[in-house]
Amino acid sequence: MKKKIGISFTATNFTNYLQWFDENDLGDSFELVTLSFEDNNMEDMLQCDGFMLTGGVDVHPSMYDGAEQYSNMPNTFQQDRDNFESKIYRHAKKLQIPVLGICRGLQLVNILEGGRLIQDLGEKKNLVHRKLEVDKKHSIEIGTSTLLNKISGVISGEVNSAHHQCINPLSLPSSLKAVAFSEDQTIEAIEYSDASNKGFMLCVQWHPERMDNKTTNPLSINIKKAFLDAITHRYNENEHC
């Protein structure tokens, strides 16, 4: 039986997430399942062995007691999506199902763990991070002895950005730790502070699924491999219970 990877639907570049997993990745072992707030297909969520929380529109500020008005805010929010993906994360955390969060996904996990966001990076940082025509590119530094360091095998690298919000480091919840930073100290990745008795969870602020060099950059290809390996490991463990 194929292991199912649930990918949360976004109207923004959704095919990139699907196409990140090629036939060599999936083979006879995995299949992709679109989990959409528009369809509210929670029954499909219950069959999944791993989850990817994707990028997209800002999380509604009411979820973290944010200001109702702020710079570069979207014309419309998607609170149904916020609620739907919150259920996905809570389900995954409870059952120790692997989770990979990307961009908005990182911000949502931070919020659900009790954190807050900087609602707009400001003019200077937006020149480094905010997408206009194409993704911005910048360097990051990765903490040693972290899951991300172990997965990627590097302590620095180049990533791509397309965001105007980020985790507020002053309200990072104790359950999470920041494990990568850009030069301007924007938090670029988070993990559990204590991963014991928890499932695989890694969230990144960049977009590994659409890097120009995603087949060679360890901050893309190694993350994908580790996510798939975590799903397989949990699946095999449950099969032998």
Q: What pLDDT does residue 24 have?
A: 96
% of the chain beyond a pLDDT of 70: 99
For tokens 């931070």, the residue is: 110
241 pLDDT higher than 70? no
Report CA torsion sign: 79, 17, 151, 195: positive
Q: What value does the mean pLDDT take over residues 124-146?
A: 95
CATH number for position 42: 3.40.50.880
Structure tokens at 32: 């992709």
Q: What pLDDT does residue 240 have?
A: 63
**Beta-carbon neighbour count of residue 38 at 10 Å?**
12
How many separate domains does the chain show?
1
Q: What value does the mean pLDDT take over residues 123-152?
A: 96
Q: Which of 203, 181, 26, 32 is nearest to 111 (CA)?
A: 203
Q: How confident is the prediction for the chain on average, in pLDDT?
A: 97
Each residue of 57-111: pLDDT tens digit?
999 999 999 999 999 999 999 999 999 999 999 999 999 999 999 999 999 999 9
Band (pLDDT 50/70/90 cuts) for residue 132 is: confident
Each residue of 158-201: pLDDT tens digit?
999 999 999 999 999 999 999 999 999 999 999 999 999 999 99
206 pLDDT higher than 60? yes
Q: What value does the mean pLDDT take over residues 137-149?
A: 98
Structural domain boundaries enclosing 180: 3-239
Residue 130 backbone phi and psi in degrees, to 5: -80, 130
% of the chain beyond a pLDDT of 90: 96
Cα(10)–Cα(56) distance, integer angstroms: 6
113 pLDDT higher than 90? yes
